[in-house]
Amino acid sequence: MAHNIKVFLVDGDLVTLNEYRQGLENFGYRNINLFLNGVICLNNLHQKPKIIFLNHSVEDAVSFDILKKIKQSQLNVYVIIISNQENVNIAVDAMKYGAFDYIIKGDNEITKMKNVIERIILLGK
């Protein structure tokens, strides 16, 4: 089943972005935009995504600034932080700044992404 929900994927690694897109397309999600950094994502918020998966890494403390700006945009958008870090403090900060969820990178992150999308779709009904 194809889903029309607009999803933004933000990660500095093009290979990762393409893996995420392919994985989500395999689950029927087709309206996916890829961004190599948060600034480009911010510049495209006029496209009104419903969900943004935003990469966070230790070197990229900017991701919380991007998260805050997305939440200030007044769009009804769900932001999910994806991180290599299994760090409770980062997860708590992500939620404090308005993230809907926090996913740790690993073997099944695409399935976790799909599950979050399904939860959001159910919230919309």
pTM of the model: 0.93
CATH architecture of 7-38+48-93+102-109: 3-Layer(aba) Sandwich (3.40)
CA angle 59, 64, 68 (to 5 degrees): 160
Q: For the chain, what are the domain ranges?
A: 7-38+48-93+102-109
When pLDDT is cut at 50, 70 and 90, the band that residue 75 belongs to is confident
Q: What would the two tokens of residue 118 be?
A: 């399904």
Residue type, 101: D
pLDDT in tens, 14-69: 999 999 999 999 999 999 999 999 999 999 999 999 999 999 864 556 788 999 99
| pLDDT at res. 106 | 86
**CB-based burial, 79-101: b 16+ in 10 Å, e otherwise:** bbbbbeeeeeebbebbeebebbb
Name the more confident of 117 and 61.
117
pLDDT in tens, 94-113: 999 999 999 998 879 999 99
Residue 7 has pLDDT above 90, yes or no: yes
| pLDDT at res. 125 | 58
Cβ(78)–Cβ(52) below 8 Å: yes
